[in-house]
Amino acid sequence: MKIVPVIKCSDLARSIAFYTRTLDFELADPSDTGPVIEVIHGDAELQLSTMSGDGMFGCAVNVWVDDVDALFQNYLARGLDTSDRAGSPIHQGPINQTWGTREFYVTDPDGNTLRFRQPIQ
């Protein structure tokens, strides 16, 4: 079984740019023009959708990774701007959560949040 989250977006080109240029995803099919586009990163897959019946803005997706600290630094180097979330420590860098994970959050231009996490060792 495989589950692929659908992320609602208002501007497909802007979302594709954010997910591919900042978060290292790639287009699954570069010739696809939408209204639903699949982006991949290793085994991870998301669908970016402008379809009216697909979800709501502001969803959250948990993304399990091997090294949240290195990934956060990579995203900053690729242009991730955290200034609009200055009051949210978890958007500013990885933190240890009381439930046993180290996490940071990235919120896309439509308010959808990817929660990058790894178990605390």
Beta strand pairing call for 113-119 and 60-64:
parallel
User: What distance in Å separates the CA atoms of residue 38 and residue 32, rounded to the nearest whole number?
Assistant: 9
**Mean pLDDT in residue range 69-81:** 96
Domain boundaries along the sequence of the chain? 6-119
- Residue-level pLDDT at 109: 94
Which amino acid would we find at residue 93? G
Name the DSSP letter for residue 84: G
* pTM as predicted: 0.88
Sole residue written with tokens 């208002």: 10
- Residue-level pLDDT at 30: 94
- Residue-level pLDDT at 3: 84
- Residue-level pLDDT at 55: 81
Instruction: Write the CATH number of the domain with boundaries 6-119.
Output: 3.10.180.10
Residue 25 pLDDT grade (very low, low, confident, very high; cuts 50, 70, 90): very high
Residue 99 pLDDT grade (very low, low, confident, very high; cuts 50, 70, 90): very high
Lowest-confidence region among 12-21, 35-44, 54-63, 103-112 = 54-63
